[in-house]
Amino acid sequence: MPSSDEDLDPAAIRLALEDHRRLTRDRVAVLAKRPERGAAQGFGKRIGDGTTEAVGRLTEIGVGRSLESTLARTERALAKLDEGSYGTCDACGEPIERARLEARPDSVLCLRCAAAERRPAAPPRR
Ligand SMILES: [Zn+2]
C-alpha cells in the first residue's frame, strides 16, 4: 500500500502533540517551582544587584510566557484534531502548508498568518 501524500497520520500527530504538551508542562512546572531566593535576599542588597536580579526575573517571565503560549498552541492543535479541523489555519481557514505541519505539528496557523501574528502588536509609526 503506497503511503498517501494527502493524509498525515492523525494518531502519530496526536502522540507527538501529547508528548510535546507533557514536556512543555514539565518545563512550566520547573519554572514555577523555582525558589525565589532573589525576593528573600533582595532587602539587604544594593540596587545594582537587585537590577540584575530583576532582569533575570524578567527573562524568566518571558520564558514562562513563551512556554505557556507553546502549551496553549499545543492544546489548540489537539483540539483541532478532535474537531477535524487539524491542518486548517485558525485565522484564515486556508490549509496549513504540509511541510510546516511536518516541521511543527503544533501549528494552528498557516505561514502567512503566523508571520502576521509574530509582528509587534502595536507597530511603531512609519
Ligand atoms: Zn492563515
User: pLDDT tens digits for 102-114?
Assistant: 999 999 999 999 9
- Residue 78: what pLDDT? 97
Structure confidence by residue, pLDDT tens digits, 14-65: 999 999 999 999 999 988 887 766 555 445 555 566 677 777 888 888 888 8
Coil, strand or helix at 49: helix
CATH number, domain at 17? 1.20.120.910
Q: What is the DSSP-derived secondary structure letter of residue 44?
A: G
Q: What cell was used for 113? A: 498568518
Number of domains in the chain: 1
Residue 21 in any domain: the answer is yes
Q: Compute the distance from residue 121 Cα to the ligand 1 centre, in Å.
A: 17
Q: What are phi and psi of 88, to 5 degrees?
A: -110, 135
Coil, strand or helix at 84: coil
Residue 2 in any domain: the answer is no
- Residue 52: what pLDDT? 75
Q: What is the DSSP-derived secondary structure letter of residue 91?
A: T
* More confident position, 46 or 74: 74
Structural contact between residues 16 and 105, judged by C-beta atoms closer than 8 angstroms: yes
95 vs 85: CA distance, rounded Å: 9
Residue 84 in any domain: the answer is yes
Q: Compute the distance from residue 104 Cα to the ligand 1 centre, in Å.
A: 15
Decide if pLDDT at 2 tops 50.
no
Distance of CA 98 to the CA centre of its chain: 19
Q: Give the structural domain span for 27.
A: 10-118
Q: Compute the distance from residue 37 Cα to the ligand 1 centre, in Å.
A: 44
Tracing cell 520547573 back to the chain, one arrives at 30
Q: Compute the distance from residue 25 Cα to the ligand 1 centre, in Å.
A: 27
Q: What are phi and psi of 108, to 5 degrees?
A: -120, 0
Residue 89 in any domain: the answer is yes
